[in-house]
Structure 1
């Protein structure tokens, strides 16, 4: 787990939201596992940057981390003295059982984290209503790397647990980076009649070199030729569900945005759109024929696209 999300992005605590976003994108471009298949350090930097960005991109989560209310994984930080105060509460059955012989509950290998987890879960689920030996199982947390298209379209995968068993995970269509899935009853077993805990799976969605997510919309850049920009026509473009032809209007300009309705990601109010930003690309080589033609055209049809925008 990362300890300092700012350091993972090469930033300090006074970084702006825009600087955080740019730093993450830079690391995603340089250290993406697809670009560094044999470099485990690059993959580690990429994953750490993803976790850091997931925490810091949310203003409220960032505020809570800076205030020490949550740690770098987003888990709650217990207030100072919480374990001591709760352990001394007379109604706490765990304390009663540990101190009935006059011993100190914080001796003999007492695990405060385990105690807190069981205490917090038990109070919300009727802890102590069953037999004295009954105890709810622990919740467990995992992180799961998910390819961009699997998150976009939904998929099934498996996590191999420390004991060698496998846990099947259904990734919902339109899943987001940092989204946490809850699998009820897939945590550790309880004691006595205590119910098992739950498994919480946090998704690390791998950025795609082809697609960018903006809310429920997919954003892509589409390179087009000079003649396609001038004459218009049908041009193939990739979507998360396959390649389709998009109509480029005649006289198109770089930066112009086209929209494919319903070609985005599944959200609460239906599917988003795919936004396509056009980028005119000159031929790799300007031959004599093209140069002669453009010189003749410019002589009779010159225009200034910067008119009105130039500084006086």
Structure 2
């Protein structure tokens, strides 16, 4: 099946339709949900490979033009080769004049005819000599054989908890063969990052393929990501804001004590250094804490105080009202 058939979509499908079809199939075929069905792992790998190519605009265009195959490999001239024998037709043999049958008039074995122009036209002057078999000429080209292919890659999707993504905590995953490994998360981890596991794919004549792990970072109930920084809205009492003091604040690495300055207003941002995400250079972002003053409802003493307090001025003066 071609790449579009693998995903069950038309050739003119939009990017959104491609993504929707892949997500639906990946959910059905994921190895974790089909441990007793080896065919599911193969189909999962096929649809993931199809999505990887079709979701890339450049690769999709090249595939639609017939320049690359379903594996993303460049196609050979003349539709993938020179026929079953590498010569585009019947197997050539010695002609009456010592040449090759299947070519008009034959070519003398003594090398009177130079095939350099032909191969330079097909492969470019830079590597035509290599395609002809080096110094041995056209005779060596006939002996070239395709190297055994490695097995197909197996695609995995791993959802990483928010705190683990920030601290790069290793994640334990189960592979298609049932084995478990502790996966080390790389610096610069982002939503959609891919990690290659060498030799963890399907077995093939040329050795095993690789495992490709696509990372998804789980949302958090109160942390949000802002580049390499992490943001948090922190409720504080009116007394803590007016009088100042130390309060306990959650971070991906565990709670820490934060000093709230005396006279803080709601919306004030405080910084806790190096409690964010780690970039590719190893530098870690910060945690930005926005204070939100929590005023309790129905507090009689607070209402009595506010009724008799004439201070505060006009906090809306900067708005012109």
Same fold (TM over 0.5): yes
Alpha-carbon RMSD? 4.1
Q: Hey, what does 2:238 align to over in structure 1?
A: 226
Secondary structure of 1:171's aligned partner: coil
Q: Distance in 1 between matches of 2:182 and 2:87?
A: 41
Per the TM alignment, residue 200 of structure 1 is displaced from its structure 2 partner at its CA by 1.6
Indicate conservation of the 8 Å contact 1:152/1:173, yes or no.
no
Alignment CA distance shift 1:292-1:6 (3 Å) = farther
1:170 and 2:184 equivalent? Answer: yes
Per the TM alignment, residue 272 of structure 1 is displaced from its structure 2 partner at its CA by 0.9
Aligned match of 2:269 in 251, 257, 265?
257
Counterpart mapping for 1:281-292 below 5 A: 281-287=294-300, 289-292=301-304
User: What is the TM-score of this pair, normalised by structure 2?
Assistant: 0.58
Q: Hey, what does 2:112 align to over in structure 1?
A: none
Alignment CA distance shift 1:184-1:304 (3 Å) = same
Q: Hey, what does 2:199 align to over in structure 1?
A: 185
Secondary structure of 1:239's aligned partner: coil
User: What is the TM-score of this pair, normalised by structure 1?
Assistant: 0.60
Q: Distance in 2 between matches of 1:286 and 1:6?
A: 52
Q: Hey, what does 1:215 align to over in structure 2?
A: 227
Per the TM alignment, residue 280 of structure 1 is displaced from its structure 2 partner at its CA by 0.6
Q: Distance in 2 between matches of 1:177 and 1:9?
A: 15
Q: Hey, what does 2:289 align to over in structure 1?
A: 276
Q: Hey, what does 1:80 align to over in structure 2?
A: 65
Indicate conservation of the 8 Å contact 2:158/2:213, yes or no.
yes
Aligned match of 1:89 in 66, 77, 80?
77
Aligned match of 2:313 in 300, 303, 309?
303
Counterpart mapping for 1:41-52 below 5 A: none
Q: Distance in 2 between matches of 1:225 and 1:291?
A: 15
Task: Give structure 2 stretches of 5+ with no counterpart.
Answer: 1-6, 28-50, 91-129, 131-140
Indicate conservation of the 8 Å contact 1:238/1:244, yes or no.
yes
CA offset digits 1:44-75 (Å, max 9, x no partner): 8xxxxxxxxxxxxxxxxxxxxxxx99645889
